[in-house]
Amino acid sequence: MSRLVAGIGELVTNDASLGDGPLGLLSDAALVVVDGTVVWVGPEAAAPDADTRIAVGGRAVLPGFVDSHAHLVFAGDRAGEFEARMSGARYDGGGIGTTVAATRAASDGELRDRLRGLVAEMRRQGTTTVEVKSGYGLTVEDEVRSLRLAAEVTAETTFLGAHVVPAEYRGRSDKYVDLVTGPMLAACAPHARWADVFCEPGSAHAFDGDQARAVLEAGRAAGLGLRVHANQLTAGPGVRLAVELDAASADHCTHLGAADVDALAGGTTVATLLPGVEFSTRSPYPDARRLLDAGVTVALATDCNPGSCFTSSMAFCIALAVREMRMTPAEAVWAATAGGATALRRTDVGRLVPGARADLAVIDAPSYRHLAYRPGVPLVRALELPA
């Protein structure tokens, strides 16, 4: 069964060989989908015949967002912590322990309902691929449980046993790293594609450079790809460690020295910026312009989590990136789609080209520019193609 999606006023392909500019823009475009895969893209006037036709009425269509950084397996609510922060309290990562306690106490059903609800909420806002981390269990059993649940909704599962040092290991973080790199990793690796660590010597709750290296090297030895929570609160060693170990992504990148930018520019590690965190913690934004001008590949993601940033909206992150980080609308849209895919080392999503997955998002507007131009307006959603 072939389906023609027609009446696309503006199509973002993210392939410069198919259309104009880095977004590969086409006007009055169409595409053909067979069995969930794009098989043809081009001007509607040249479209081949198909079994069925779906018209989108001149709207803009883009690849579904690829949200490459999210923490969706959790219980509880930290709205009070947010209110305190907005009243002047400082964010240091310590509130994660609150979510750990609630998550451990929750049933599988409660965690599953919350997780599925958030994935559906994302899809309604145009996100069609999401990475989901563990990291609120922090025991062998609870980390395995988190990853099993995450694997029900995505292939992009990330073992984040090294999220924070749990309360029962306070003052004994090296012992906790032994657990993470030993029995916990062994039990979790079969359920994970990636390993991640919160490398932040500036936080009493997170992990220093040596500990982060131990976690990442163990993850790599277990066959996992690598990602790093790096340089969020201080210009620590996380970014350079990520590049040295060829991590797919260094995430946050809020505080960077010249050596960090040089390292990113010289490697294949994507800089994934999470401006919703800076918004929600009232912190200075990363310098996206400096990274882009240095030739670094930049992705945007939500970091959706109950503490430092509880948005699921990639469009909101695009608006922040444009308004607060001086990315152009085109750069921000690329970063939220093809950039996220690159951060997950995927070529089948984030682009609308023959052979890619038919993960389409449609904007109730004539152009991708409206995602930043009309902040907070629910214009974009995943396009549901009938089975």
* Residues found near Zn ion in the complex (CB under 5 A): 303
Other CB atoms within 10 A of residue 148 CB? 17
Rounded to the nearest whole angstrom, what is the least distance from the CB of residue 137 to Zn ion in the complex? 15
Rounded to the nearest whole angstrom, what is the least distance from the CB of residue 305 to Zn ion in the complex? 6
Other CB atoms within 10 A of residue 201 CB? 17
Q: With respect to Zn ion, which residue has the nearer C-beta, 44 or 303?
A: 303
Rounded to the nearest whole angstrom, what is the least distance from the CB of residue 163 to Zn ion in the complex? 8
Task: Please state, in angstroms and rounded to a whole number, the distance separating the CA atoms of residues 27 and 19.
Answer: 9
Q: With respect to Zn ion, which residue has the nearer C-beta, 96 or 372?
A: 96
Rounded to the nearest whole angstrom, what is the least distance from the CB of residue 21 to Zn ion in the complex? 31
Q: With respect to Zn ion, which residue has the nearer C-beta, 310 or 368?
A: 310
Q: What amino acid is encoded at 274 in this protein?
A: L
Task: Please state, in angstroms and rounded to a whole number, the distance separating the CA atoms of residues 195 and 192.
Answer: 7
Rounded to the nearest whole angstrom, what is the least distance from the CB of residue 378 to Zn ion in the complex? 24
End-to-end Cα separation, the chain, in angstroms: 9
Q: With respect to Zn ion, which residue has the nearer C-beta, 142 or 303?
A: 303
The candidate with the shortest Cα–Cα distance to 316, out of 302, 298, 299, 303, is 302
Show Cβ contacts of residue 46 under 8 Å, excluding neighbours closer than 6 positions. none
Rounded to the nearest whole angstrom, what is the least distance from the CB of residue 273 to Zn ion in the complex? 12
The candidate with the shortest Cα–Cα distance to 283, out of 316, 250, 308, is 308
Q: With respect to Zn ion, which residue has the nearer C-beta, 67 or 303?
A: 303
Closest residue to Zn ion in the complex (CB):
303
> What does R_g of the chain's alpha carbons equal in angstroms?
20
Q: What amino acid is encoded at 60 in this protein?
A: A
The candidate with the shortest Cα–Cα distance to 14, out of 63, 68, 67, is 63
Rounded to the nearest whole angstrom, what is the least distance from the CB of residue 99 to Zn ion in the complex? 12
Look at strands 225-230 and 194-199 and give their pairing: parallel
